[in-house]
Structure 1
Amino acid sequence: MNNLRQKVRSKKLSSRVDLTAMVSVSFLLIIFFMVVGELSKPKVMDLSIPSCTEEHPFAGCSHSDENRTITILLDDNNKIIIYSGLIYAPIETPKQVQYGKNGIRKELFERNKKVLQYSAALGRPERGVTAIIKPSKNSNYGNLVDILDEIRITNINSYSIVDYYTSEEKKLLAAK
């Protein structure tokens, strides 16, 4: 009878869980999201364009050094017009050039060489040309890619792509 009164006890199993794999996975996920977060940050250059009016182009403007500026206007039919300085007071008058090593590349090399000499005389030898690329609505994507290739070939490190045209630049593009 004594046996009937004894409770039957079940054997208890160990409830220990090995968390090593879960810790490894969580560290990998943390590293993954940190890397993705760092790579997804936009990499942009701060470009401050002065707010100038066309009626009084120099009033209230804080222009960068126009001796270092070259503007490249792109239009349809592979038309390229370049000028150095400001359109209101160009250092080199606007002229039409062609693509290739004897056209735009030669002009960019020569202008960059002059600007590097100018900057070296001012005590800043590493500052070269700042190219402003202005594709018109009539130019195609291939022309923009070609100009960016020429910029890279000529080792010009500072450039921007702008879609704003002054009235004088519109007249230059309209001239045949």
Structure 2
Amino acid sequence: MAELNTSGKVQPRVDLTAMVDLAFLLITFFMLTTSLSKPHAMDVAMSDKTAGVHMELSDERTVTILLGSNGQMVWYWGLDENPIEGPVAVGKGRNSLRDLLLSKKEEIPRRSVDKKGLMVIVKPGNESSYSTLVDVLDELKIVDVRQYMIADINDMEQAMLRSKL
């Protein structure tokens, strides 16, 4: 910028206009050339309902998580007719679900006859939200549960969910 100095003293000044222009050019250049992080999707295998294939699950290594309204969850270990443990309501905090998954991940291979790892079945209820399902899948990924599936909730489990919440 040009400046008219009318006083008798000469004061040296640095004109920063070119520096500001250069800074904006560099910011624009790096914003346009950078690559933004791409979202990572989780692979979830869903069963084909048209195939009519029924998968047999071991009750010794299966933990089922039922999802209710407002982020509430109920879990049981084993089959729904005669669970080994549960049904028990899980608190709303993510740490309580994480603690449950970590303890079962350690306990089940020790007690199982076939020494296979934990299998988790997630069953969203009629009133459950999508964000609750995503939170549970995130916890499964954090705990490193490698075998899990999403299934439909049956009437017995829906009644179990209502009774525990």
Instruction: Pick the TM interval, shorter chain.
Output: 0.5 to 0.7
Q: Does 1:161 align with 2:150?
A: yes
Q: CA deviation at 1:116?
A: 2.0
In the alignment, structure 1 residue 173 sits paired with structure 2 residue 134: no
Determine what percentage of the aligned residue pairs are the same residue.
33
Please give the root-mean-square deviation of Cα atoms over the aligned residues, in Å: 2.4
The answer to whether structure 1 residue 135 and structure 2 residue 124 are counterparts is yes
- Structure 1 residue runs of 5 or longer lacking an equivalent are 1-42, 51-62
Distance 1:150 1:141 in 2: 14
Letter in 2 for 1:128: G
Matched, 1:87 2:80: yes
- Report the CA distance shift for 1:68/1:113 in structure 2 as closer, same or farther (over 3 A): same
Aligned to 2:66: 73
Pairwise CA distance, 1:100: 3.5
Go from structure 1 to structure 2 and tell me whether the alpha carbon gap of 1:80 and 1:114 turns closer, same or farther (over 3 Å shift): same
> Number of paired residues?
118
* 1:144 matches 2:137: no
| Superposed CA offset, 1:15-43 (max 9, x none) | xxxxxxxxxxxxxxxxxxxxxxxxxxxx9
Normalised by the size of structure 1, how large is the TM-score?
A: 0.59
The Cα of 1:99 is off from its aligned counterpart by 3.9
Deviations 1:64-112 (A, max 9, x none): 2110000000011111000000111111020100244541111111111
Q: Deviations 1:103-144 (Å, cap 9, x if unpaired)?
A: 11111111111112234xx464xx211100001121111100
Matched ranges for 1:84-123 at <5 A = 84-119=77-112, 122=113
Check conservation: 1:134, 1:164, Cα contact below 8 A. Answer: yes
Output the CA distance in 2 between the equivalents of 1:172 and 1:144: 18
Larger radius of gyration, structure 1 or 2? 1
Given the two structures, how large is their TM-score scaled by the length of structure 2? 0.63
User: For the residues of structure 1 that align with 2:78 and 2:133, how far apart are their CA atoms?
Assistant: 21
- Work out which structure has the larger RCO, using CA pairs closer than 8 Å and 6 or more positions apart in sequence: 2
Moved over 3 A (4+): 43-48, 99-102
- Structure 2 alignment gaps of length 5 or more: 1-43
1:133–1:160 Cα contact (<8 Å) kept: yes
Paired residues of 2:65 and 2:75 also in contact (CA < 8 A): yes
Residue 117 to residue 98, structure 1, CA distance change in 2 (3 Å): same
Once the two structures are TM-superposed, the CA of residue 147 in structure 1 deviates from its matched residue by: 0.1
Q: Compared with structure 1, are the counterparts of its residues 123 and 64 closer, same or farther at alpha carbon in structure 2 (3 Å cutoff)? A: closer
Distance, in Å, in 1 between the alignment partners of 2:95 and 2:161 is 22
